[in-house]
Amino acid sequence: MTPKVLKNYIDGEWVESKSGELLDVRNPATAEVIARVPLSTTDEVTSAIQAAKTAFPGWRETTPFTRARYMFELKNVMEDRFEELAAVIVKEHGKIIDEARGEVRRSIENVEVAAGIPSLMTGYNLEDVSQGIDEDCVYQPAGVFCCVTPFNFPLMVPIWFLPYAISCGNTYIVKPSEICPLSQILFFELLEEIDLPPGVVNMVNGDKRVVNALLESPDVEGLSFVGSTPVGKYLYAKAAEHGKRAQCQAGAKNCLVVMQDAVLEQSVPAIMSSVFGTAGQRCLAGALVVAVGDVYEPLEGMLVEAASNLKVGDGMDETVQMGPVVTQKSLDRIRGYIEKGIEEGARLLLDGRELQMEGNSDGYFIGPTIFTDVTPEMAIARDEIFGPVMGIVRVDDFDQAVEVIHSSPYGNAASIFTTSGKWAREFKYRVQAGNLGINIGIAAPVASFPFSGMKDSFFGDLHGQGRDAIEFFTDRKVVITRWF
């Protein structure tokens, strides 16, 4: 069967792109082409912006209660199609079905929080700021917003933004990942089912040409970006150049510190899931295990044993614990880093390149890999590998562990495994990373909290999700009143 060519969603209609440029979308477990995604033209971006701009005044006047009701509807249709959404994620991305279900659940939670908009968007006031004069601060929607999103949470990341943006009364344009665009197609089919007015939500598929056209338009108010650090940094500067607000959530290299007093039986499964979940392709993935003092000896053996036992395969198989990585290019990059780690003098305890798959698989599979004797200056310790590769760094004490964390330019997440309240408190107080876990391997904030990030992991001030989202998607207007 010829794979279908994906369409854009503009002004309430599915429209074919006029661009002749198409990219193959592949199932990472089989390498089979499952769809073709257009690299849309700047004219198509202009149409989407125009549709969103035209829809804005009417949508803004729609009451927050009515806008919230659309969120309730959206939640319902997502619940009805829960398994289908999860299956599409597995097909385009490769993660295991349970992780995909988690992604759908987290997406729905954002819709649920955004449904609280009548209370989230209220302003504040103060009487008698001077005698007989009152002051009010009102929260108003600002216009057309857009997001540019990564492949690794293809359904959820746009949903970190879109529900809040439109609940606040803005109109919206999504530019999905061109590597994994299918779950956004299904999500927009669901948005179509809830009958939003045309132009309130739009989707334009493509690559940097689409992104540049969005950022260069005077009719776009702001950008939410999630992706790698070089692109995030570049787009943050470009947004500023064009007078737009931007929040750019970027790359990561996260440390998991294991203290001597950690309960290893509980910590090791959490570390496994942090490092090897989603085949390491998470911005919250643990990448470096920092073993403090003599915890190293028992920890090393337990990590290698647990990782060796992970079942790797097609994510649709419910018994599989780790799927493939997303593309051949990713696989080549990860293999390259394994070679680099050996050259740099790290000791390979478990080599994922030796993975034997049952049957002949053309998929992009690599097994869990563990290096030890990793030092912070090695490329495998510094760079975001974005694959199932763990590096173990040995340190003598807590202070050295914090130094290892701070030697990275990134500051997305960090975790500590300990039974000591003192170390947990020190960790929380001192560590410069936006999302911290204490005996938690993946410190993923729920929808009502900001998805944080610091240093080279975030460019901006207001993060996705939570109260930050409401601040980002509104203007504050101050009205000072005196009546004679």
Whole-number Å distance between alpha carbons of 224 and 377: 32
203 binds ligand NAD (CB under 6 A): no
Secondary structure class of 478 (helix, strand, coil): strand
Whole-number Å distance between alpha carbons of 222 and 199: 17
Footprint (CB under 6 A) of ligand NAD, residues 381-410: 384, 386
Contact call for residues 418 and 261 (beta carbons, < 8 A):
yes
Q: Quick one: which of 139, 189, 145 has its CA closest to 165?
A: 145
457 binds ligand NAD (CB under 6 A): yes
> Binding segment for ligand NAD among 2-10, 163-171, 222-230, 336-344 (CB under 6 A)?
222-230
From 147, 180, 248, 283, active-site residue: 283
Among 250, 290, 325, 442, which residue interacts with ligand NAD (rule: CB under 6 A)? 250
Shortest distance, position 228 Cβ to ligand NAD, whole Å:
3
Continuous segment of H or E residues that includes residue 140: strand 133-141
Torsion, CA 179, CA 184, CA 186, CA 187, rounded to 10:
160
177 binds ligand NAD (CB under 6 A): yes
Footprint (CB under 6 A) of ligand NAD, residues 104-163: 148-153
Shortest distance, position 176 Cβ to ligand NAD, whole Å:
7
Residue 151 or 187: the one with the smaller Cβ distance to ligand NAD is 151
Continuous segment of H or E residues that includes residue 246: strand 245-249
Contact call for residues 398 and 292 (beta carbons, < 8 A):
yes
Whole-number Å distance between alpha carbons of 114 and 169: 11
Select the residue whose beta carbon is closest to ligand NAD and give its number: 227
> Binding segment for ligand NAD among 95-103, 121-129, 225-233, 331-339 (CB under 6 A)?
225-233
Tokens 């919206």 belong to residue: 172
Shortest distance, position 349 Cβ to ligand NAD, whole Å:
25
What's the Rg (C-alpha) of the chain? 23
Which residues are bridge partners to 201 per DSSP? 172
Residue 145 or 386: the one with the smaller Cβ distance to ligand NAD is 386
226 binds ligand NAD (CB under 6 A): yes
Whole-number Å distance between alpha carbons of 170 and 172: 7
Strands 33-38 and 144-148: unpaired
Active site residue 255: no
Shortest distance, position 247 Cβ to ligand NAD, whole Å:
10
223 binds ligand NAD (CB under 6 A): no
> Binding segment for ligand NAD among 14-22, 64-72, 133-141, 175-183 (CB under 6 A)?
175-183
Shortest distance, position 281 Cβ to ligand NAD, whole Å:
7
Q: Quick one: which of 390, 378, 473, 421 has its CA closest to 169?
A: 473
Among 251, 286, 387, 437, which residue interacts with ligand NAD (rule: CB under 6 A)? 251
Residue 139 or 386: the one with the smaller Cβ distance to ligand NAD is 386
- Length of the chain in terms of residues written: 484
Contact positions toward ligand NAD, by CB under 6 A?
Answer: 148-153, 175, 177-178, 207-208, 211, 226-228, 231, 235, 249-252, 283, 384, 386, 412, 451, 453, 457
Residues designated as active site = 283
